[in-house]
Amino acid sequence: MCLAIPAQVLSLEEDGQNGVVMLGGIRKRISMALVDDVKAGDYVLVHVGYALSSLSEEEAMETLAMMREAGIVAETARP
């Protein structure tokens, strides 16, 4: 089973192809090559180092809440 986790974009590199996101309190450099028009503060779904799509803050929070309830992510995990 594959799992994509919502994360908040903290910054983008000048080339726009890479950026830094916050995943459960950890900063992670990922590729943004698969998404368009993403900026710092936006939320994206991350899978194996790639942002797959963007989503609203509401969708990100709802998804993380469901993942916490299911025991997939830690209670303390926040984007």
Average pLDDT over residues 59-79: 81
Whole-number Å distance between alpha carbons of 10 and 28? 10
Residue 12 binned pLDDT confidence (cut-offs 50, 70, 90): very high
- The whole-number pLDDT of residue 75 equals 65
Whole-number Å distance between alpha carbons of 9 and 42? 5
Cβ proximity of 53 and 45 under 8 Å? yes
Least confident residue range of 20-24, 39-43, 61-65, 74-78 = 74-78
pTM, rounded to two decimals: 0.86
Q: Which of 58, 78, 52 is nearest to 67 (CA)?
A: 78
